[in-house]
Amino acid sequence: MAKNDLIGGALWEAYSKKVAARMDNPKNRGELTEADAKKLGGKLVIADHGAESCGDAVRLYWVVDAKTNVIKAARFKSFGCGTAIASSDMMSDLCVGKTVDEAAKITNIDVEKALRDTPETPAVPPQKMHCSVMAYDVIKKAVAQYKGVDLSALETETIVCECGRVSLGTIVDAIRLNDLKTVEDITHYTKAGGFCKSCIAPGGHEKRQHYLVDILRDTRAAMEKEKLHAGMETQEFSSMTLVRKLKAVEKILNEDLRPMLAADGGDVELVDLKESAGVVEIHVQYRGACMGCPSAGTNTLSAIETVLGQKLGVKIKVVAV
């Protein structure tokens, strides 16, 4: 087809020469049979995958050495567009010579990069990036079949951007660690949404479980809530309301003091809190073994005062009632 045809001009230029060559003359298109596997001394694996978004489908054939798990040969059949054919052809090349576990680590990004003419220029336009995802998915199916496990056992992450294979966890971490505020920021840091763009918001060519706009909104909301909570936690004791002061004291008793007293069978109960002349007077009542203990009015009382004073940053006086 000439460059000035319907698929010509700028759109034609968006495809690498390697993609064009493999579209027209794929090296690995075909099938492998049991006879081929016997000849190569390996096990035949056949896996199928279809893309609901575009109707394309690919069948992958492997011959695997059962002793070493090395893929000795790979072929494919593709029912779809030229990009799917080129991606499947390159995927087959990348599999040969690798172990099954090594092949499982091949991503659609690896396939796309291998199809580039130059390292910095994408091999296909963004809207066709999803075609290389089929290559990734069919490898996973072949691995699962060879190992005799369910495909779900190999999927450990929720993928949001299928084109870039970017997980939900990666996106949330990027937002939190880098304080990202826009979808454009997410794309810059993770590449999610930088290809076919279906994962950015509802309405794209393929429906998603998660969208970047929703992940950003929910993560930012959680961050703000945590920030507010942290602000309350670090609020100066003197500026707190009485209720919050009591809660702050109770929190320290629970986390720092009660475990120590419980080790000897004792406990302490917060009864009241009063303030006078810059001193916070905390009234407590001993329980269990602390009741009547000789050190309850001396060492134990002093320890409680010290811990509360250090944690609250104010002068504390503890009164046993």
Q: Show which residues are catalytic.
A: 54, 131
Tell me the C-alpha distance between 131 and 86, whole Å.
Answer: 9
